[in-house]
Structure 1
Amino acid sequence: MSQFSVLLQKEWRENVRNYKIFWIPVVFILFGIMEPVINYFLPQILDSVGGLPEGAVLEIPTPTPEQILVAVTGQYQFIGMLALILAYMGTVAGERKSGTATLLYVRPLSFSAYFLSKWLMASLIALLSLWLGLLAAYYYTLLLFDTVNFADFLRFAATYSVWVVLIVSIVLAASAALPNAGMAAAVSLGSVLLMQLVDGLIGAYWSVSPLKIPVYAASWLNGRIDLVDFWISIGLVAVVIALLLIAGIWASRLNASKAKV
């Protein structure tokens, strides 16, 4: 059995033992369900709260099903990304700090297999969680509002999946490069928030950028997407992810001597 397979099985067991395989999907499913449910019952919620003058009527436009699904990814942009950062901030740094990594480093170890096994398992769990959450959102949107073209939904979910893999890559590269999980979390969260802030403030000046992936995901639902710019942006994300993987492997090897004995 190859070293990569052995390390991948180790990562699977650790994710099961730490309940990440359970609680991360629960977070995504919960927030996927909340958005359509809250939007459906929002008039009743506001009516029960009261506070309006007598005779006043509060008109709330009913969101389209597409808007609800896009709003779900809006929840994931912070809550979902925060869950992934907290789950995987110590993937490499935590092992070094606790001394667990020493048990691996004393053996002939391929740092490529070591880092990539962690990245692959984290990416698979993140994608599983995302798809379960989006499918739950799709079901409740269909149940409470109206249907969304399923082919467009699949394109929407697949495009947003690329963004999630990028976030996972940032978290693991930071964990490999920095001395502890706390610093990895701070850098990862700061990077994610900065990317969203930059695109929100000046993103209108460009149409090709890795930062545009969430926007392109939403564009599949409203039927307005420039395929040329889309595929160039996807290519740029692939390059960035590849560079992060190379940086993570290099940092894992460089910082191996700093593992606690």
Structure 2
Amino acid sequence: MSSLNVLLHKEWRENVRTFKLFWIPIVFVIFGVIEPITNHFLPEIMKSVGNLPEGAEFTWPEFRGEDIFISLIGQYQLIGILIIILAFMGSISGERKTGTATLLYVRPMSFGHYFISKWVVVNAIVLASVWLGFMAAWYYIRILFNPVAVGEVFAFLGIYSLWLVFAVTVVLAFSAWLSTGATAGLSIFILLIFQVIDGVVGAYWTVTPWKLSTYASSAFGAPVDQSAYWMSIGLTVILIVLLVLFGMYMAKRNAAKTLV
């Protein structure tokens, strides 16, 4: 376990040095603050700049705090996932390309520990950032809208966190397998474009990791097929484990491609 601890410290220092530990949480918190404030003041903004005819009235839907949480997921599903891909697509492939990995590979190191150290640190940064964003949103939701039950919020975040772990695992596994550019392209297809495809034709299947962001809303009382919900969670966990094993294997297999 000593080698794993060394690698964990190495990854932590690397993310501090590249400022990912700071700017990623800031971005998620900013979006978390903007979402409730924008939705609260949007009717007034529309009235002032909407150029409506005199006497015309525009009825704006009345949002609940739960609606703001679900709306914020929409922001994180696009911009947040894109940030994760761009920030970590070179986590392993980048070290091979620059030759940095050579300093690690010449040492008696477990490639399993190597991949797991990155997986743990990246997930810690991503989950902490997203949770901070939702906590910031929750604070303003309580002020501007209605209080949302603590249990519902944490159930909501727990389900969505599993999707984020899946997204991180996809990016790191592809980084161990492919070049940085190919990792970015394939990750965008799997995590973003396929998400759109699932939204369009996903009515024909209900058991998939891409449904987790939708199933998260069930924490606020939205109707959901419980069997599909739990099967999606189980399938996502299995895919995460398989992707971690695949990432370990590809990190070891592609070690010979490291530039010296």
TM-score (norm 2): 0.96
The secondary structure found in structure 2 opposite 1:255 is: helix
Matched residue type, 2:192: L
Q: Residues 70-114 of structure 1: CA distance to partner in whole angstroms, max 9, x if unpaired?
A: 000000001110111111011001101111001111112210000
Q: Distance in 1 between matches of 2:258 and 2:14?
A: 19
Q: Distance in 2 between matches of 1:26 and 1:242?
A: 30
Q: Residues 180-206 of structure 1: CA distance to partner in whole angstroms, max 9, x if unpaired?
A: x22211211121123312320122223
Structure 1 stretch displaced more, 221-230 or 143-152: 221-230
Q: Write the mapping of 1:76-225 to structure 2, written as runs, cut at 5 A.
A: 76-179=76-179, 181-225=180-224
What is residue 19 of structure 1 aligned with on the other side?
19
Residues 40, 113 of structure 1: alpha-carbon distance in 2 compared, 3 angstrom cutoff: same
Matched residue type, 1:105: Y
Q: Distance in 1 between matches of 2:154 and 2:223?
A: 16
Matched residue type, 2:9: Q
Matched residue type, 2:231: I
Q: Distance in 1 between matches of 2:109 and 2:40?
A: 54
The secondary structure found in structure 2 opposite 1:135 is: helix
Q: Contact 1:99 / 1:260 at 8 angstroms: preserved in 2?
A: yes
The secondary structure found in structure 1 opposite 2:182 is: helix
Q: Contact 2:119 / 2:169 at 8 angstroms: preserved in 1?
A: yes
Q: Distance in 2 between matches of 1:221 and 1:138?
A: 14
1:231 pairs with 2:235: no
Q: Write the mapping of 1:46-85 to structure 2, written as runs, cut at 5 A.
A: 46-85=46-85
TM-score (norm 1): 0.96
Query: How many residue pairs get matched?
Result: 260
What is residue 253 of structure 1 aligned with on the other side?
252
Superposed displacement of residue 228, structure 1: 3.0
Q: Distance in 2 between matches of 1:229 and 1:178?
A: 33
Q: Distance in 2 between matches of 1:58 and 1:64?
A: 19
Which ranges of structure 1 fall in alignment gaps of 5 or more residues?
none
Q: Distance in 2 between matches of 1:215 and 1:27?
A: 23
Q: Contact 1:11 / 1:121 at 8 angstroms: preserved in 2?
A: yes
Structure 1 stretch displaced more, 101-110 or 181-190: 181-190
